[in-house]
Amino acid sequence: MMRPLRRRIGVIKHEDVRAQTAAGLAPHPVGDYVRVIPVGGCEEIGRNMVAFETKNDIVIVDMGLQFPEEDMPGIDYIIPNISYFIGKEKKIRGIIITHCHYDHIGGIPHLVHRLGNPVLFGSDLTLGIIKKRQQDFSTAPLRTQVITNQSQLTLGAFRADFFAVSHSVPGSLGVVLDMGLGPLVHPGDFKMDPDPHSLTPADMDKIKALGDRNVLCLLADSTNAPLPGRQLTEGEIQTNIEEIVANAPGRLIIGTFSSLLSRIQQVIWAAEKVNKRILIEGYSMKANVEIAKELGYLKMKRTTLISSKELPHMPAEKLVILCTGAQGEDNAVLMRIANREHRYLRVEKGDTVVFSSSVIPGNERSVQRLKDGLYREGAEVIHYQMMDIHAGGHAKQEDLKDFYRMVKPRYFIPVHGNHSFLKINKKLALEVGIPEERTFVPDNGAVIEFTAKGGRMTGEKIPTDYVFVDGLGVGDVSEIVLRDRQIMAADGMLVLIATIDGRTGRLVHNPDIISRGFVYLKESKSLIEDVRMRVRRILQDRDPNQPANEVYLKEKIRNEIGQFIFQRTERRPMILPVIIEV
């Protein structure tokens, strides 16, 4: 049976949203105000983007992508909806990118030029990876400016400063924006790692000092808010990785995300400790490692990395292969190795394969099949969750509460996560004493407004319906296309071809029927014959004195045959009538 369509698909049109918004628009308050608008990332993990807007200025933080859900066949990813900003391009003073993960940078190539190409601010590593990715898209050059945790910027009415946060990638920065009503703090993805020797130490002093700045509002990462306790430190993760690398008896194949640079560094250090060498496989991972190495974020001995040419001379027990291995990333190498589709890498007996426990989110059966395949080839499989993009890099409950106690915000907005994550995160804020009426749990597109009198949810909602990226196209796959794909995926399709005489409208020969994914024609002869008979009757029944109206006839065939098939089979294949006039 066809799955019910999710409500957000195909129901809301841009125009409708605009009309609603205009009708329900609250008048702007007298005096200074700042509006906080989470454009994406508040009903899902992904497509993170928050806008901060005053009378004359807009600053955007992050512009990410979201990987599609299972009922979105053929969609590569989803990006934030920027309709609200069209016509306001001149107000945009800059886009600050907190770090280089795709759920924070992935929308840039598709959106930044449509916003008037504002300057992108980010750490050198963040911008390096954004620029590298931009080469895959033929657009005008980006305007970028490197910032560090010491930078201070003036962006229209906003003063911006930054603090380093600990995350699973170096170069992650938290953002402080102030337009006069008090600092708005957006740490991006973060965890608490006080160890100054960590790969990504947090600026603990700066974070504590925020507590004395009378912070107006804190936006906080909810990714790991449902998890009790504390997140592992990078040091603890290093120990775990060292164990895995040292204990692999033969080759070790590690599938991970190409932007998970802290893990890549840790694998490199672990390998060097036991004199193993590393082959990096996968275009995006190689590129990211190159950039990070050049900028000094990745440290390694000159001899640690080997090329594929050296591969035949490497003893198995001395080799670590680091590759991309997660769904959603271009050409996941691990999948190709497991499926024997890789050019020169095969799984061999004695290999140990490591992958993040959620290689294909929500698709356990494929993971199981992959695992079975690897075992069949004689490999051992280890799940290590920290190889996942969202594991290990985000603060858990106790860390979050510590952070809130340090920052002491007057208002609190949980972001980055599904609605339930946001609600749980809000509870944590209540536990540290932030009053309930000063917490706002937003949906995407909610507008939260602050004035000298305080903050409130305005009830206004900007457009947030999905923008799909499909191949190189953006937004050209509409909800209708997606619905067609869903129908075809669920019940298949049936093509009914009728050839008629252009003058008389009479059928020239028996209608042809083609079925894909619906029924096997040979085994459903009587059903197909009944369909054929009905198509014939529809075409014969029309008034012979009227010219054949193709649109009308097609519609009639689609409706009547659709109904007939549903009665007989309880399926709703897509029906495509084709009328050829000769």
* Residue positions annotated with a catalytic role: 221, 394
Binding mask 421-440 for Zn ion (x = CB under 5 A): --------------------
> Applying CB under 5 A, which of residues 91, 101, 133, 251 lies at the interface with Zn ion?
101
Contact 163, 203 (CB under 8 A): yes
Per the structure block, which two tokens stand in for 14?
Answer: 């841009």
Query: Partners of 184 in the beta sheet?
Result: 177, 217
Kindly give the pairing relationship between strand 512-516 and strand 493-500: antiparallel
Per the structure block, which two tokens stand in for 60?
Answer: 């955007």
Whole-number Å distance between alpha carbons of 406 and 327: 37
Per the structure block, which two tokens stand in for 332?
Answer: 């996941």
Whole-number Å distance between alpha carbons of 497 and 576: 8
Dihedral sign (CA 215, 221, 222, 228): negative
At position 113, the amino acid (one-letter code) is: H
Nearer to Zn ion, 103 or 388 (CB): 103
Nearer to Zn ion, 105 or 321 (CB): 105
Return the residue matching tokens 């009503």: 181
Nearer to Zn ion, 187 or 577 (CB): 187
- For Zn ion (CB under 5 A), the number of binding residues is 3
Residue 207 phi/psi, 5-degree rounding, is -65, -45
Whole-number Å distance between alpha carbons of 386 and 241: 9
> Applying CB under 5 A, which of residues 43, 53, 62, 103 lies at the interface with Zn ion?
103
Query: Partners of 49 in the beta sheet?
Result: 40
Q: Least distance from C-beta 111 to Zn ion, angstroms?
A: 17
Nearer to Zn ion, 35 or 47 (CB): 47
Q: Least distance from C-beta 165 to Zn ion, angstroms?
A: 10
Whole-number Å distance between alpha carbons of 394 and 407: 17
Give the footprint of Zn ion on residues 340-359 (CB under 5 A): none
Per the structure block, which two tokens stand in for 245?
Answer: 């690398």
Give the footprint of Zn ion on residues 177-216 (CB under 5 A): 189
Span interacting with Zn ion, options 89-97, 100-108, 298-306, 380-388, rule CB under 5 A: 100-108
Whole-number Å distance between alpha carbons of 1 and 554: 25
DSSP 3-state of 153: strand
Return the residue matching tokens 């069209």: 86
Nearer to Zn ion, 100 or 345 (CB): 100
Q: Quick one: which of 99, 65, 102, 97 has its CA closest to 80?
A: 65
Strand order in the sheet with 277-281: 305-306, 277-281, 319-324, 252-256, 352-355, 380-383
Q: Least distance from C-beta 562 to Zn ion, angstroms?
A: 44
Q: Quick one: which of 466, 465, 410, 418 has its CA closest to 442?
A: 418
Per the structure block, which two tokens stand in for 201?
Answer: 């130490």
At position 182, the amino acid (one-letter code) is: G
Whole-number Å distance between alpha carbons of 151 and 483: 47
Decide: is 399 part of the binding site for Zn ion (CB under 5 A): no
At position 495, the amino acid (one-letter code) is: V
The residues of the shown chain that bind Zn ion, judged by CB under 5 A, are 101, 103, 189
